[in-house]
Amino acid sequence: MWIQKEILIKPRNRGFHIITREIENQIGELKNISVGTAHIFIKHTSASLTLNENADPDVRVDMESHINKLAPENASHYTHIFEGSDDMPAHIKASLLGNSVTVPITNGGFNLGTWQGVYLGEHRNNGGSRRIVVTINGE
């Protein structure tokens, strides 16, 4: 069985945000899959998807502080600078963190660890709504 949906998620501030529930809510068919995978893919190059801790919000704060150190704004070696100082760092962050996650499906739901949530990394100051393609395959 294949299910594919292109969903638009609401605009977020720059930083990391848990979107597990927002995705699950849009794919009710998930409950009919006993074993499979969900491929969650963001159609942008300045935002990312990753999995990380869903409990303490400080983890998301620290992820943002730290990724800003790994890919700072206004580095002297950047040449792609005409879209704003947040743009080239956003591209770097997107490739370091990744643009998709694949999650196992077991007994009608995402088979995540207790502490795992799907993170949206919004790397632009004003990224707007983001487009995500969810492709579910299973039986």
Residues forming contacts to its own copies in the complex (CB under 8 A) are 2, 4, 6, 35-37, 39, 41-45, 50-53, 56, 58-59, 61-63, 65-66, 69-71, 75, 77-80, 88, 91-92, 94-104, 106, 111-116, 119, 131, 133, 135, 137-139
Whichever of 15 and 98 has its CB closer to its own copies, that residue is 98
Smallest distance from the beta carbon of 117 to its own copies, in angstroms?
9
Whichever of 65 and 125 has its CB closer to its own copies, that residue is 65
Whichever of 28 and 79 has its CB closer to its own copies, that residue is 79
Whichever of 84 and 104 has its CB closer to its own copies, that residue is 104
How many Å separate Cα 110 from the centre of its chain?
15
Q: Which amino acid is at 98?
A: G
The DSSP bridge partners found for residue 134 are 5, 40
Smallest distance from the beta carbon of 30 to its own copies, in angstroms?
15
Residue 43 near residue 79 (C-beta atoms within 8 A): no
Only one residue has tokens 């196992």, namely 104
Smallest distance from the beta carbon of 109 to its own copies, in angstroms?
13
3-state secondary structure 78-124: CCCCCCCCCHHHHHHHHHHHCCEEEEEEECCEECCCCCEEEEEEECC
